[in-house]
Amino acid sequence: MRDGSSHARFNDIINALKGLGKVYTNHELVSKILRCLPKSWEPKVTAIEEAKDLSIFPLEDFLGSLMTHELRMSDQVRNEPKKKMIALKASKDGESDGDKDEMALLTKRIRRILLDKKNFSKKQSKKFQSKGVSSKSDKKKR
């Protein structure tokens, strides 16, 4: 229900079907709309299905609820901070000096992270050993 025109089209279809003798209950109309909503609306669909008796939920109130929810979703998207992305340069002809420098820096950072992680795990195993808890490697030695 992205805008008022989809609401108007839905009403046109309902009225045309009434003219042909096919009348849907309010429950059927609300259910049909709920089934057509995209996956991103699933939490809202579930909430409506659980909270409301669809047979007495007026179609106008239902459509108003969907439009309000859509406005909230669009406000949330607008207010979310942009995620930073890292872009790496690509070149067709071999590596330039700048590329080598970048690769060396990246490699250095990765090594530092791995060493920090390794040192952290060694410190943790020493803590456990001092508390009387043996690690898997100690059990293998015994």
**How does pLDDT run across 1-16, given as a tens digit for each residue?**
445 567 778 788 888 8
Cα separation of 126 and 88, whole Å? 40
H-state helical runs in the chain: 4-19, 26-36, 42-51, 59-79, 97-130, 136-141
pLDDT at position 142: 47
**How does pLDDT run across 81-135, given as a tens digit for each residue?**
777 777 666 666 655 667 778 888 888 888 888 888 777 666 666 665 666 555 4
Look up residue 85 and give its two tokens.
């992305």
